[in-house]
């Protein structure tokens, strides 16, 4: 390897390692600061939060005994029943007590152990409106509703829940589903209950559906978007609170591959979010959001909501035109720019290939070939620069021997040689750096692609998570208790590629330690990639193999070093033209030499 290629490769390694470490640390610091800011704001702006369960208990259980209950309106009497509303995508189970969905089955998907996939299940999942009744508060979660199922004109289905509170006070909650849609429409209408503002309480507990619950919790996040278009998110930890004081369009609880998102047609005035991942191993995360909804003058109030319950599929989320697709992490932080590479290049190629190829392992291979062809210009330029440096190596060695005691003079003469020969000293480094964004784009794309979930290829039974060829009887720190063969193959191919490059490129004797960097790099990342999606490690392995084949073909059949040498000699006879960068560099070197000459010599 020549010096510039080693520097380029080392820069790539340092950038990747620094990014992974920085991303993890920055994310933790960011979320810690956000929680601290939220707590500080809450202390400075205290506001009472209504607990609907306690309100109902105080209003009903403490003031109404069993004998008196029978004389009350129907909303206070009844027996909880379950009603199912389903289409081709979802099967939702509702309770007539509270009129909210308690269970959500997402059709077409299975859990990792091949059981029906429920995003949530249990009465802890609620959607409850706090009602202004008799100068107090009453929650719809503890009212009994009368259900009515009906067909919609578009082939969908709907269910209306009606609660009669007497005195011309009534609540009607209607849910409707299109025939093929993950988006449920929800309309809450109240009669005879004037209000200034109304409080809507949404609680959800997401279930464990993937292989690794630790990884699921790492990917459990709350996303939100304000009406003005600004948006943000935070990762759910053991205790999180977030106060959204701006008008909010939607709040979504995102798991690794699925999400549940509440969207207000007219926006929420504000929202207070509390969440936790400190739960048993059947649950991933729990979230509670208290929305404030603006009320209109008069006795009748109307709240229109859309409720997405479904997969984190980029195209599906994008089709709703509400920027829900941002819940698919395609690049963020200092690497936010790579999401545009994923949106405009990687995803379109992936979608075209998956349209007529069913094997996702084959799709990954074809994607790799296509991407390498797109980058072949940069690859060729990198190898051509390496060949020029090999041709110039004898002359560089002569200069190094001539100016052994004067490195500044050696540097100037080396630049003159490069200029006269028409060689760019950064020719081997820059093409490598231009390929770096693709590497990072794939780092985000494969682990986030639900299309790869539970797709088998070779020995991997699920390309969306790590492959396992053996389980260890103990856990190795920073590695884990399993052995991923794709990760081992990726590491081995990286080492082979580094060795091949070393044999094919000139070495800089003044930097003997740099030649070991390409061998250290794969071992530094083996623990990180051992827990990554099999699709990602397979892509890196296959990409390495293509690089080896590409380099062999270019150097064996395309690049002719004799012709390069003849061209360099011809260039030396032509008038040299300096670029501005070369002129600046030479001026700096001359200035350094002049200062060195003026410095008094040590006796």
Model confidence, pTM: 0.78
Residue linked to tokens 């060795």 = 499
More reliable by pLDDT, 249 or 57: 249
Task: Give strand pairing partners of 293.
Answer: 198
pLDDT tier for residue 577 given thresholds of 50, 70 and 90:
low
Q: Please answer whether residues 154 and 186 qualify as being in contact, where contact means their C-beta atoms are separated by less than 8 angstroms.
A: no
For the residues 117-134, what does the mean pLDDT come to?
Answer: 90
CA distance 189 to 303: 6
Q: Give the per-residue pLDDT at 60.
A: 43
Residue pLDDT, tens place only, 392-425: 777 777 777 777 777 777 777 777 777 676 666 6
- pLDDT beyond 80 at 501: no
Q: Give the per-residue pLDDT at 260.
A: 96
DSSP 101-156: EEEEEEEEEE-TTS-EEEEEESTT-EEEEEEEETTEEEEGGGSB-EEEEEE-TTS-
Q: Please answer whether residues 231 and 134 qualify as being in contact, where contact means their C-beta atoms are separated by less than 8 angstroms.
A: no
- pLDDT beyond 80 at 187: yes
Q: Give the per-residue pLDDT at 411.
A: 73
For the residues 7-16, what does the mean pLDDT come to?
Answer: 52
Q: Which of 65, 84, 87 is closest to 76 using CA atoms?
A: 65
What is the residue-averaged pLDDT of the chain?
80
Residue linked to tokens 């109307």 = 302
User: How many other β-carbons are positioned within 10 Å of the β-carbon of residue 174?
Assistant: 17
pLDDT tier for residue 169 given thresholds of 50, 70 and 90:
confident
Residue pLDDT, tens place only, 298-327: 888 899 999 999 999 999 999 999 999 999
CA distance 156 to 471: 48
Contacts of 63 (CB under 8 A, 6+ apart): none
Q: Please answer whether residues 141 and 56 qualify as being in contact, where contact means their C-beta atoms are separated by less than 8 angstroms.
A: yes
pLDDT tier for residue 63 given thresholds of 50, 70 and 90:
very low
Q: What region does 155 belong to: left with phi over 0, alpha with psi -120 to 50, or beta?
A: left
Phi then psi dihedrals of residue 163, to 5 deg: -120, 120
Task: Give strand pairing partners of 199.
Answer: 130, 292
């Amino acid at each position: 390897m020549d010096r510039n290629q080693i520097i380029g490769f080392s820069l790539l390694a340092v950038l990747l390692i620094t990014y992974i470490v920085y991303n993890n640390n920055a994310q933790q610091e960011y979320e810690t600061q956000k929680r601290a800011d939220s707590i500080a704001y809450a202390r400075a702006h205290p506001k009472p939060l209504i607990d609907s369960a306690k309100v109902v208990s105080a209003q009903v259980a403490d003031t109404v005994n069993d004998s008196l209950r029978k004389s009350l309106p129907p909303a206070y009497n009844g027996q909880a029943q379950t009603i199912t509303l389903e289409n081709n995508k979802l099967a939702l189970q509702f309770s007539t007590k509270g009129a909210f969905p308690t269970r959500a089955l997402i059709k077409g998907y299975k859990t990792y152990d091949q059981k029906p996939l429920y995003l949530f299940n249990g009465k802890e999942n609620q959607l409850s409106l706090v009602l202004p009744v008799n100068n107090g508060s009453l929650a719809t979660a503890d009212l009994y509703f009368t259900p009515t199922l009906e067909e919609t004109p578009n082939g969908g289905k709907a269910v209306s829940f009606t609660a009669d509170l007497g005195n011309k006070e009534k609540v009607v909650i209607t849910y409707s589903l299109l025939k093929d849609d993950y988006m449920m429409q929800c309309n809450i209408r109240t009669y005879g209950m004037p209000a200034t503002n109304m409080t809507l309480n949404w609680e959800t507990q997401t279930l464990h559906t993937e292989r690794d619950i630790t990884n699921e919790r790492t990917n459990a996040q709350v996303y939100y978007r304000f009406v003005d278009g600004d948006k943000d998110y935070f990762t759910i930890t053991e205790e999180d609170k977030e106060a959204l004081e701006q008008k909010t369009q939607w709040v979504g609880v995102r798991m690794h591959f699925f999400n549940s998102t509440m969207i207000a047609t007219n926006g929420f005035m504000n929202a207070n979010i509390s969440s936790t991942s400190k739960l048993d191993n059947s649950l991933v995360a729990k979230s509670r959001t208290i929305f404030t909804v603006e009320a209109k003058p008069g006795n009748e109030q109307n709240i229109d909501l859309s409720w997405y319950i479904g997969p984190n599929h980029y195209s599906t989320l994008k089709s709703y035109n509400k920027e829900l697709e941002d819940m698919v992490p395609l690049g963020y932080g200092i690497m936010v720019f790579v999401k545009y590479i994923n949106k405009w290049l990687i995803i379109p190629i992936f979608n075209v290939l998956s349209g007529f190829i069913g094997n996702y392992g084959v799709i990954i291979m074809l994607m790799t070939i296509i991407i390498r062809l797109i980058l072949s210009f940069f690859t060729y330029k990198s190898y051509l620069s390496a060949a020029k440096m090999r041709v110039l190596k004898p002359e560089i060695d002569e200069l190094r021997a001539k100016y052994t005691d004067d490195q500044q003079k050696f540097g100037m003469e080396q630049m003159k040689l490069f200029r006269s020969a028409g060689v760019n000293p950064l020719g081997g480094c820059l093409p490598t750096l231009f390929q770096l964004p693709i590497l990072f784009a794939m780092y985000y794309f494969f682990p986030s692609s639900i299309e790869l979930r539970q797709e088998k290829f070779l020995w991997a039974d699920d390309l969306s998570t790590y492959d396992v060829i053996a389980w260890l009887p103990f856990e190795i720190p920073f590695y884990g208790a399993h052995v991923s063969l794709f990760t081992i193959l990726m590491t081995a191919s990286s080492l082979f590629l580094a060795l091949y490059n070393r044999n094919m490129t000139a070495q800089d004797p003044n930097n003997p330690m740099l030649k070991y960097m390409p061998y250290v790099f794969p071992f530094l990342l083996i623990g990180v990639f051992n827990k990554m999606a099999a699709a990602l490690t397979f892509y890196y392995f296959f990409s390495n193999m293509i690089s080896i084949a590409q380099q062999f073909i270019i150097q064996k059949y395309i690049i002719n070093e004799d012709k390069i040498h003849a061209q360099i000699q011809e260039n030396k006879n032509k008038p040299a033209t300096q670029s501005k960068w070369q002129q600046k560099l030479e001026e700096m070197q001359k200035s350094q030499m002049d200062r060195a000459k003026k410095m008094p010599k040590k006796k």
